[in-house]
Amino acid sequence: MEKLLTLRDSLSQGRNLLSNWFSVESPCNWSGITCVGPAVQAIDLSYTPLNSSIPSCMGEFRHLKALNLSGCGFSGQVPDSFGDLQTLQSLDLSRNQLSGALPSSLANLKMLKELVLDSNSFSGGLRIIVEHLKGLTKLSISGNSFSGSIPLDIGSLQNLEYLDLSINYLSGTLPSSLENLSRLLHLDVSRNRLSGSIFPGIGSLGDLLTLDLSSNSFIGSLPSTIGRLTSLDSLWLGRNGFTGSVPVEIGKMKQLKVFSLHSCKLTGTVPREISELRNLIDLDISENKFEGELPRSIGNLVNLMYLVAADAGLSGHLPEQLGSCKNLKILDLSFNSFSGPLPASLAGLESITTFIVEGNHLEGPIPPWISNWKMVNSIRLGKNQFSGSLPPLDLPFLTSFSADANQLSGEIPSKICDCRSLSSLSLSENKLTGSIEETFRGCSNLTDLILLGNNLHGEIPDYLGELPLVTLELSQNNFSGHVPDQLWRSPTILEISLSNNLLAGCIRIAVGNISNLERLQLDYNFFEGSIPKSIGKLRNLTNLSLHGNRLSGEIPTELFNCTNLVALDLGSNNLTGSIPEAISRLNLLDDLVLSNNQLSGHIPGEICAGFQRAAYPDSEFTQHYGVLDLSYNNLTGQIPAAIKNCAVLKELRLQGNMLSGSIPPELAELTNLTLLDFSFNSLSGPILVQVSPLQSLQGLLLSNNQLGGLIPSELSLMLPSLVKLNLSSNRLTGPIPETVFDIKTLTDVDISSNSLSGSIPFGGSIARGISSLLIFNASNNYLNGTMSESVSNLTSLAVLDLHNNSLTGSLPSSLSKLDYLTYLDLSNNGFLGDIPCDVCSIVGLSFANFSGNKLYRYAPEECASANRCVAQLVPYPPPTRSPNGGLIWGVGLGAAVGLLALVFLLLKWKAMRQQSLDLVSTDKANLAAVEPASSDELLGKKMKEPLSINVATFQHALLRLTPSDIMKATENFSKARIIGDGGFGTVYRAVLPEECVVAIKRLHGGGQFQGDREFLAEMETIGKVKHRNLVPLLGYCVFGDERFLIYEYMENGSLEVWLRNRADAVDALSWPVRLKICLGSARGLAFLHHGFVPHIIHRDMKSSNILLDKDFEPRVSDFGLARIISACETHVSTDLAGTFGYIPPEYGLTMRATAKGDVYSFGVVTLELLTGWPPTGQEEVEGGGNLVGWVRWMVGRGKEAEVFDPCLPHAGGGPSREQMMRVLAVARACTADEPWKRPTMLEVVKMLNEIKMEACGDLVTRHV
């Protein structure tokens, strides 16, 4: 008894938890103590949060047979004295914070039968256990940091019935000696680093009930001997590298209920023998590379409840026999190549709750018999070819219905609101017609209505304001009339988008009544009249866009009472008056567009009030933050020196006004500036006067002013990142400085129509072969001298225009080496001699003009291709004609073209009021800018093809890689360079010149992309998405059917790797770091949802898509790829719709409608950070299922303190634990079953930021 008193004294800090230990005299009657006579035989203190180290006096209970200390919050190491418990038969230390290696004294526990060490931080190897504890029947060490290989002689533990080694860092192969464990019932080695193949002798484990080998790196084929496991109940093999086909012997496992093969590389057909598993309840074959159809015999699986075959490579028609699986609850066949109609037999699936066939080639009408599915709550039919009208949906539990991107037509059925539970409806990008005058009147639970991109017409009904809508998206339709006043009285709507319709009339005063509104988009309609003053009542408004209407009058000063505005776009209207000085109230503003109006007066210095903050509040999410666009107005006066206060300004667009004076030298203080466009004004003085260089400036457009003087010789030092330079139509004099060509990033140069003189410095940098030029236009100057042979080093050049100068000498023969030239104009100079014949051989040369020179013939005379070129090339007329005729003709033609161009410019400026001219004339606009390839057969191509690149995006300088650059950087796509291989493509770590490390993603689907134009448009969009918590796109390359994306390299890889497979994760992923990752990821996702127009839905938010830089700052990756890949109308990855375990119960909605689905997925990631567990694989844990379900189960029983990762700080208060509990509450809100109950990502960011900032002390601020 004295030993128990000693134990009590050592646990005195738990007096309140062990109350009867201090009130009951007989120690054997204390709770958790079991005595036989005077001997203590069992101690059970499980889930008593003592939060201390294990008392060493525990080792004094020499008659102890059972010791359970699970969930006590113990930390430190296991005392050596435990080796004295030589009669111990059961030891449970699970769910603590114990660490270090197991003490060698445990080797003395020869009678031990059960050893449970789950969910701690134990490390080291397993040698002590395997060598000495031969009597074990249960060994469970899941969720630790054990490493090394599994001892080869583990098969000597022949009494083992339960073996769980999951969630550790074990490596090597699976020992074949395991086949000796003939009594084994449960084997789990999931989520380790095991490799090699499965040993054939695994079939000897005939009594095995559960086998989990998932989430390792196993390779090779599945052994046929696995079919001998005839007692097996559950088999998990997913997330490995298994190849080959599924063995037909699988059909012998008649007792199997759960069978998961997801995320492997299995090929061949799905074997018919799988249908012999008549007890099967759960089948997951998703994310494989199968071929052929789903076997018709699948209908024999009458007990099947869950069938997931997303992105499995399947094709053909859906089998009729599938309708025999009457117990199916979840059927996910998304992102395969299924075709044909939905078989009528599916009408009998009356237990179905989730039906997903998104991303296939299914066709025909949506059958009316889906109304038989009375239990269904989610139907996803998007991205197919369904046609016809939408049938009535008499489904009482349906909450989410999506049929985006099909070919549906006709009217939306009037009885759609018979689905009383319907909360989310997305029918975007179809051909639906008719009005919605009464359609949704009865949808009393509708929160998200997405009808974007149809042919709906009529007026917007007033009853929409009475529904509980949060998001209303009616853009790109034919709605007309007024916006009803009732809509402006909605108490719930946060976002209204009515862009691209035929709405007219005034914006009513009632707009000020919708007080909760955050985003309002009324772009491209026919609204007229003035902007109502009442709009100033919308104090929650963050984004307002009225672009492209007919609004007139002055900008009301009341608008500037909307002090939360981040983005304001009033462009392309008929607004007059001056820009109010009251704009200084918008302190959060960093995106202002007032272009294409009739605004007059000066630019107020107060305009920079909202561009001064370098650190943005969490509520600020904008499309192009740092944009100030006042172009194409009637603004006068000088550019204010106060422009220097726009500290975060990135794009300054003032073109097309009547500004005068000089360019202010204060611009040099705008260190973030990437684009400066002052063209079409009356500015004078020098180009730039500055002291410090504008390191980030990529576009300098100053054409059509009165600027004079020299082009600065220090231009390469002043603007080291310049991509596009347009100084045309000014009064510049002097020579072209050679240093212009020292700017490695420069692609576009237009210095035409000035008074420049001297020779063209094609020597220097160009002679050294380092030019990146695509376009060079120096026409209409006084340039003289000869053209250097070094011009051939302009290997990327697509456009060369030198007409109307005084150049002389012969044409360089190297001109014909410009393989990617599409436009060549050397007319009206003084060139002599021959036209190099090989110029004709340049593939893609669409225009060439040599007229107005003294060029007589091709050389050599026997040039076989000369006749072919005559139609394209215009040489000097033969000597028999008057030498002045060609000149007169050339001048006349030039004058005519110039006059037409001038008329065009005037019309463009006065009527269209669009952006400034491109560097190339209208004739050149159709010529593609091209990118050179150094190897024709680099990617299996047999002839050169022009490559498309971006030359006009100034959000960042896109890298211009040729295929040969990519081959060199990836070492010919070496497997050693692979750092990732997902549904979108293979990712390589690549080293570019100057030791620049990037990640190059080679997209899957070569040969099946539709066209460059769509791809390039998407790249233009994604390239403009910039946020510190998003992985930035640095560039891209198109070569034939190949697509490459270049991203910034993230040194610390993905969050998933750190949570699962990094031995140093315990130290690296401290709680402050995890909170930083959580908050940063939320910010990135919130930016996609709320800061970019059109909003971007990630659709595959998961821990592997959160990358970590060298400082563990999170960057969300793979956003925006869904639209690129899906545009191919071919096989797409399941990444577009989500990954198993992260998919919300309603399976979200496609494209813009899945914001709340992203929120759910983010919540799962947050739970991963909190618990250390993966999103699935908790089947064997009490309260099991998936991670969300397990956490709910634990919280429901008051055990929330036990869900946290044992590596995190122990329970018992403190700022970290309090933060963890609050973050857990946020995660649970995000993973609510009902989408409408989930917060938006803006709300998530706000909550997480409050958790970080409030009462967190140094523990957080030091790390985050």
Is the pLDDT at 509 greater than 60? The verdict is: yes
pLDDT digits (tens, 9 = 90+) for 688-712: 776 568 888 889 999 999 999 999 9
| 9 Cβ contact partners less than 8 Å away, ≥ 6 residues apart | none
* 56 torsion bin: left (phi>0), alpha (psi -120 to 50), beta (else): alpha
Could you give the angle at the alpha carbon of 1001 between the alpha carbons of 938 and 242, nearest 5°? 100
Residue 329 lies in a domain: yes
Is the pLDDT at 102 greater than 60? The verdict is: yes
CA distance 823 to 800: 6
Residue 1193 lies in a domain: yes
Is the pLDDT at 926 greater than 50? The verdict is: no
Q: Mean pLDDT across the stretch 818-832? A: 89
Is the pLDDT at 956 greater than 60? The verdict is: no
Read off the DSSP letter of residue 951: -
Q: Which helix (H) or strand (E) segment is 380 a member of?
A: strand 378-380
CA distances from 551 to 506, 525, 596, 770, 913 (A): 8, 10, 12, 50, 16
Task: Record the tokens describing residue 55, joined without a space.
Answer: 């008392």
Helices 1241-1253 and 1214-1230, interaxial angle, to 10°? 170
Catalogue the E-assigned strands of 972-1060. Answer: 978-981, 985-992, 996-1003, 1033-1039, 1042-1048
Q: DSSP per residue over 115-138, as a string?
A: EE--SSEEEE-SHHHHHH-TT-SE
Residue 1253 lies in a domain: yes
Task: Assign 995 a pLDDT band (cuts: 50, 70, 90).
Answer: low
Residue 1248 lies in a domain: yes
pLDDT digits (tens, 9 = 90+) for 1187-1239: 888 898 888 888 888 888 887 765 445 678 888 999 999 999 999 888 878 88
Peptide bond into 860 cis (omega under 30): yes
Could you tell me if 686 and 680 are in contact, meaning their C-beta atoms sit under 8 angstroms apart? no
Is the pLDDT at 952 greater than 60? The verdict is: no
Number of Cβ within a 10 Å radius of residue 945: 17
Most confident of 307-316, 972-981, 1091-1100: 307-316
Could you tell me if 114 and 90 are in contact, meaning their C-beta atoms sit under 8 angstroms apart? yes
Percent of the chain residues topping a pLDDT of 70: 82
Cα separation of the two ends of the chain: 51
- The domain boundary, picked from 298, 330, 352, lies at 352
Task: Assign 1150 a pLDDT band (cuts: 50, 70, 90).
Answer: very low
Catalogue the E-assigned strands of 1089-1156. Answer: 1106-1108, 1114-1116
Residue 164: strand, helix, or coil: strand
Specify the higher pLDDT residue, 445 or 927. Answer: 445
CA distance 649 to 73: 52
| 710 Cβ contact partners less than 8 Å away, ≥ 6 residues apart | 686, 732, 733, 734, 735, 737
Indicate whether 1030 and 1109 sit together in one domain.
no
Task: Record the tokens describing residue 378, joined without a space.
Answer: 């989610």
State the pLDDT at residue 764: 60
Q: Mean pLDDT across the stretch 1024-1044? A: 78
Residue 1161, classified by CB atoms within 10 Å of its CB into exposed (0-12), middle (13-18) or buried (19+), is buried
State the pLDDT at residue 1129: 29
CA distance 309 to 921: 53
Residue 545 lies in a domain: no
Indicate whether 974 and 1102 sit together in one domain.
no
State the pLDDT at residue 726: 95
State the pLDDT at residue 771: 66
- The domain boundary, picked from 1002, 1021, 1049, lies at 1049
Residue 351, classified by CB atoms within 10 Å of its CB into exposed (0-12), middle (13-18) or buried (19+), is middle
Specify the higher pLDDT residue, 1248 or 1087. Answer: 1248
Indicate whether 228 and 298 sit together in one domain.
yes
Indicate whether 1022 and 1094 sit together in one domain.
no
Q: Mean pLDDT across the stretch 269-295? A: 94
Indicate whether 1117 and 981 sit together in one domain.
no
Indicate whether 1035 and 1063 sit together in one domain.
no
State the pLDDT at residue 880: 32
State the pLDDT at residue 226: 93
Task: Assign 913 a pLDDT band (cuts: 50, 70, 90).
Answer: very low
Residue 84 lies in a domain: no
Task: Record the tokens describing residue 346, joined without a space.
Answer: 């599916």
CATH classification of the domain holding 1181: 1.10.510.10
pLDDT digits (tens, 9 = 90+) for 139-185: 999 999 999 999 999 999 999 999 999 999 999 999 999 999 999 99
Q: How big is the chain by its Cα radius of gyration, in Å?
A: 35
Could you tell me if 737 and 711 are in contact, meaning their C-beta atoms sit under 8 angstroms apart? yes
Helices 1187-1196 and 1155-1171, interaxial angle, to 10°? 70
State the residue range of the domain holding 1032: 921-1049
CA distance 1077 to 1139: 20
Output the average pLDDT for the chain.
82
Is the pLDDT at 957 greater than 60? The verdict is: no
Could you tell me if 209 and 233 are in contact, meaning their C-beta atoms sit under 8 angstroms apart? yes
Q: Are strands 985-992 and 978-981 parallel, antiparallel or unpaired?
A: antiparallel
State the pLDDT at residue 1023: 67
How are strands ordered across the β-sheet holding 574-575?
457-459, 478-481, 502-505, 526-529, 550-553, 574-575
Q: Which helix (H) or strand (E) segment is 66 a member of?
A: strand 66-68
State the pLDDT at residue 1050: 87
pLDDT digits (tens, 9 = 90+) for 652-668: 999 999 999 999 988 88
Q: Which helix (H) or strand (E) segment is 36 a member of?
A: strand 33-36
CA distances from 1253 to 72, 649, 1256 (A): 30, 28, 6
- The domain boundary, picked from 998, 1025, 1049, lies at 1049
Q: Mean pLDDT across the stretch 402-421? A: 90
Closest CA to 732 of 774, 788, 778, 664: 778
Q: Mean pLDDT across the stretch 798-813? A: 92
In sequence order, the β-bridge partners of residue 316 are: 338
CA distance 1114 to 1075: 11
Catalytic residue list: 1100
SS3 content of the chain, % helix, strand, coil (to 5): 25, 20, 50
State the pLDDT at residue 954: 36
Task: Assign 1167 a pLDDT band (cuts: 50, 70, 90).
Answer: very high
Indicate whether 1234 and 1126 sit together in one domain.
yes
Task: Record the tokens describing residue 899, joined without a space.
Answer: 């006059």
Indicate whether 1098 and 979 sit together in one domain.
no
Could you tell me if 563 and 589 are in contact, meaning their C-beta atoms sit under 8 angstroms apart? no
CA distance 311 to 1125: 13
Residue 480 lies in a domain: no
Catalogue the E-assigned strands of 804-908. Answer: 806-810, 823-825, 830-836, 847-849, 854-859, 873-874
Read off the DSSP letter of residue 53: B
Peptide bond into 1094 cis (omega under 30): yes
Indicate whether 958 and 1040 sit together in one domain.
yes
pLDDT digits (tens, 9 = 90+) for 43-68: 999 989 898 999 999 999 999 999 99
Is the pLDDT at 250 greater than 60? The verdict is: yes
Residue 551: strand, helix, or coil: strand
Catalogue the E-assigned strands of 1189-1248. Answer: none
Least confident of 94-98, 143-147, 1052-1056, 1081-1085: 1052-1056
Q: Please tell me whether the overall predicted TM-score, pTM, comes out greater than 0.85 for this model.
A: no
Residue 228: strand, helix, or coil: helix
Could you give the angle at the alpha carbon of 267 between the alpha carbons of 266 and 271, nearest 5°? 95
Q: Mean pLDDT across the stretch 428-449? A: 93
Specify the higher pLDDT residue, 622 or 562. Answer: 562
Task: Record the tokens describing residue 192, joined without a space.
Answer: 């380790």
Task: Assign 916 a pLDDT band (cuts: 50, 70, 90).
Answer: very low
How many structural domains comprise the chain?
3
Residue 1001 assigned to a binding site: yes
Residue 363: strand, helix, or coil: strand
CA distance 550 to 680: 24
Residue 772 lies in a domain: no
Closest CA to 1245 of 714, 524, 390, 618: 618
CATH classification of the domain holding 272: 3.80.10.10
Q: Mean pLDDT across the stretch 1141-1153? A: 58
Indicate whether 1162 and 1216 sit together in one domain.
yes
Least confident of 1-10, 198-207, 975-984, 1242-1251: 975-984
Indicate whether 1085 and 964 sit together in one domain.
no
CA distance 55 to 7: 7
Q: Tally DSSP H helices, then E strands, for the chain.
A: 16, 73
| 7 Cβ contact partners less than 8 Å away, ≥ 6 residues apart | 55, 57, 58
Indicate whether 1238 and 1090 sit together in one domain.
yes
Specify the higher pLDDT residue, 1110 or 872. Answer: 1110
Could you tell me if 186 and 159 are in contact, meaning their C-beta atoms sit under 8 angstroms apart? no
Specify the higher pLDDT residue, 394 or 330. Answer: 330
* 865 torsion bin: left (phi>0), alpha (psi -120 to 50), beta (else): alpha
Task: Assign 1134 a pLDDT band (cuts: 50, 70, 90).
Answer: very low
Specify the higher pLDDT residue, 462 or 967. Answer: 462
Residue 83: strand, helix, or coil: helix
CATH classification of the domain holding 929: 3.30.200.20
Could you tell me if 867 and 840 are in contact, meaning their C-beta atoms sit under 8 angstroms apart? no
pLDDT digits (tens, 9 = 90+) for 356-375: 999 899 999 999 999 999 99
CA–centroid distance for 498 within its chain: 26
Read off the DSSP letter of residue 930: -
CA–centroid distance for 1 within its chain: 63
State the pLDDT at residue 613: 60
CA distance 236 to 824: 64
State the pLDDT at residue 150: 95
Helices 1071-1086 and 1241-1253, interaxial angle, to 10°? 150
Number of Cβ within a 10 Å radius of residue 1185: 14
Is the pLDDT at 614 greater than 70? The verdict is: no
How are strands ordered across the β-sheet holding 407-411?
315-317, 337-340, 361-365, 385-388, 407-411, 431-433
State the pLDDT at residue 958: 55
